[in-house]
Amino acid sequence: MRLKDKIAIITGAGSGQGRAAAILFAKEGAKIVVSDWKPELGEETVTLVKSDGGQAIFVRTDVSESADVQKLIRTAVDTFGRIDILYNNAGVGFSSPLSMSDVINTPEADWDRVIAINLRSMYLTAKYGIPEMIRTGGGSIINTASIAAMIGSEAAHAYTAAKGGMVALSRALAVEFGPRNIRVNCICPGAIDTPMIAPVVDPLKKSGRPFMTSPIRRLGTPDDIAYCALYLASDESSFVTGATFVVDGGYTAQ
C-alpha cells in the first residue's frame, strides 16, 4: 500500500476530485479526514470510504474561516495523532453563484469571497497545519490550483488570481519548510468532469460540442487528478517539492 497508516486531511472531499482522492487514498491505506462545508456530501464520502473497508471521519469546515480550519486541524490530531498529508482541494468556480466574470463586472464582495475560499484557505491550513507537521517530523502538502494560473482568460478573474496565488505560495512554502521535511506541491488541473464545471459543460454536451479541446480529446476525470495527488502524497515523491504538475490532457501545451 502506497499510503499505509498515513493520516490525510482532504478539503472539499464531499465531491469531485476531493471525493475521488479520499476513496483512492483510503484504498492505499491512509486514514482520511474528510473536510467539506456541506455535511451531507462529506458524510456520503465517509460512507463510500468505509464501504470499501477504509477509515474516515468527517469534519464540517468552511475553509475560509479560521475557527473552522483550527477545529479541522485539532480534530485530525486528536483523532489520529498526526497529519501526514494536507490536501487543499476545496474551491469554488463556475458552479458557484459568486461572480466568475472579468474584473470590471466582478462585485467587490464576490472578489473577496472567491479569494477567501480559494486562497486564504491555503494560508489558514498552512498556518495551523504546518506546526503539527513539524511536531511529528514532516509531511506532504498538495494544493489544487488550476491551468487558470498558467494561461490568461477573459473571465473568472478572481478565480484566476486566487489560483495564481496558490502556485506562488506553494513554491514559497516549499522553500521555507523543506528543511523541516515538509514538501509542498501544486496540481493544476485542466477541465475535469465534476459538478464545478457542469454549468458550462452540460449545455455543450447536449449540443454535442466539445469543451476546451485538448490533445487527449476528452475531459479529465476526478481519478486523473487523484492519481497525481496520490504520487505527491506518497513517499515515492520524497525528492519532489515546490513543483507544479499540470494535468490537463495537453491543453496548455497547444
Ligand X SMILES: NC(=O)c1ccc[n+]([C@@H]2O[C@H](COP(=O)([O-])OP(=O)(O)OC[C@H]3O[C@@H](n4cnc5c(N)ncnc54)[C@H](O)[C@@H]3O)[C@@H](O)[C@H]2O)c1
Q: Give the DSSP letter string of 6-65.
A: -EEEEETTTSHHHHHHHHHHHHTT-EEEEEES-HHHHHHHHHHHHHTT-EEEEEE--TT-
**Within the chain, how many helices (H) and strands (E) appear?**
8, 7
Identified binder of ligand X from the candidate list 23, 63, 150, 230, rule CB under 6 A: 63
| Residue selected from 93, 129, 139, 249 as contacting ligand X according to rule CB under 6 A | 93
Type of residue found at 193:
D
Q: 77-92: b or e for each residue (b if 16 or more CB lie within 10 Å)?
A: beebeebbbbbbbbbb
- The x, y and z cell numbers of residue 169, run together, are 505560495
- Least distance to ligand X, CB of residue 205, Å: 14
Tell me which of 12, 54, 129, 139 binds ligand X, using CB under 6 A.
12
Determine phi and psi for 202, rounding to 5 degrees. -60, -45
Say how far apart CA 66 and CA 68 lie, in whole Å.
5
Task: Give the separation between CA 163 and CA 226, rounded to whole angstroms.
Answer: 18
User: Does residue 227 have an active-site annotation?
Assistant: no
**Could you say whether residue 195 binds ligand X (CB under 6 A)?**
yes
- All three cell numbers of 64, joined, read 475560509
Instruction: By CB under 6 A, tell whether 144 contacts ligand X.
Output: yes
Q: Does 117 contact ligand X by CB under 6 A?
A: yes
String of contacts with ligand X for each residue 18-57, x by CB under 6 A:
x-----------------xxx--x----------------
Q: How many chain residues touch ligand X (CB under 6 A)? A: 31
What 8-state DSSP symbol labels residue 239? T
Shortest distance in whole angstroms from residue 66 CB to ligand X: 12
CB of 250 to ligand X, least distance (A): 15
Annotated active-site residue in 87, 159, 231, 251: 159
- What is the four-CA torsion angle of 182, 188, 191, 195, rounded to 10 degrees? 40
Regarding 15 and contact with ligand X (CB under 6 A), the answer is yes
Interface with ligand X includes 150 (CB under 6 A)?
no
Output 181 or 244, the one with its CB closest to ligand X.
Answer: 244
Minimal distance, residue 138 CB to ligand X, in Å: 24
194 binds ligand X (CB under 6 A): yes
Residues marked active site are found at 159
Interaction site with ligand X (CB under 6 A): 11-12, 14-18, 36-38, 41, 61-64, 89-93, 95, 117, 144, 146, 189, 191-192, 194-197
